[in-house]
Structure 1
């Protein structure tokens, strides 16, 4: 009778099952919280536009900015000199900002007398949906 009584009072199996159930529940809840956090962040990512712009210094010292086109080149504002914003370091050391329209295949020239010898250039595209995106940066 002592053997039969021993199996009735043994609680070790029940504790192990409850422990496994609790660990699985905690894992599921943790995965749900992480998924909600990750997928909630994805909604805030903005579209990245594809427009190729090159910046180079010509042999005479001028800086040439070329619009090489791209899948989203047609989405850039056109007219009233507001499609591109070009900021560069002037020979005075100040930053000069100019707005221009630059058709695909066209070039914009910054005179060698206007630009600093070591000039930092940032070209920003202004898109029809109201967003702006840096298309090129260069030290020339």
Structure 2
């Protein structure tokens, strides 16, 4: 009686398991890299700005707050956390008003009807974001 010792089945099963384990590890590493990269994407800051016309030559810009208003940068002396641009020119508030990172603060600015107003926020991480753009 001749007995065949055929151990090929065991090596096939082990090779398939080894390939599955390697592919699973490579997929996990790839997914970890991709998801960590996606978390670094810039999310927009949420700060609400209201622009209202006071008279024919003056607008009022109000800081209404928002979850990211605490991230506005007010650490630079003599610089406020907002840049107000009216028809392409940077403007400064009309004293005694001033637009700061405090919720409820406001600034009055010279702007006639039909001018384009852009309010840009300056944030503590050095980024800038347009918070308001419109014609008033």
Q: When you count helix as a share of all residues, which structure comes out higher? A: 1
Deviation at 1:88, TM superposition (A): 2.9
Deviation at 1:18, TM superposition (A): 0.9
Query: Which residue in 2 is equivalent to 1:138?
Result: 133
Q: Residues 22 and 78 (structure 1 numbering): CA distance in 2 closer, same or farther, change over 3 Å?
A: closer
Asked if structure 2 preserves the Cα contact closer than 8 Å seen for 1:52 and 1:135, the reply is no
Task: Give the counterpart of 1:53 among 49, 52, 64.
Answer: 49
Q: What value does the CA root-mean-square deviation take over the aligned residues? A: 3.6
Q: Residues 125 and 56 (structure 1 numbering): CA distance in 2 closer, same or farther, change over 3 Å?
A: same
Task: Give the counterpart of 1:126 among 113, 122, 126.
Answer: 122
Structure 2's unaligned 5+ residue stretches are none
**2-structure distance, mates of 1:34, 1:73:** 31
Task: Give the counterpart of 2:61 among 49, 62, 65.
Answer: 65
**2-structure distance, mates of 1:135, 1:29:** 41
Establish whether residue 106 from structure 1 lines up as the match of residue 105 from structure 2.
Answer: yes
Q: How many residues align?
A: 127
Structure 1's unaligned 5+ residue stretches are 90-94
2:63 aligned counterpart, secondary structure:
strand
Query: Please, what TM-score do these two structures have when normalized by structure 1?
Result: 0.61
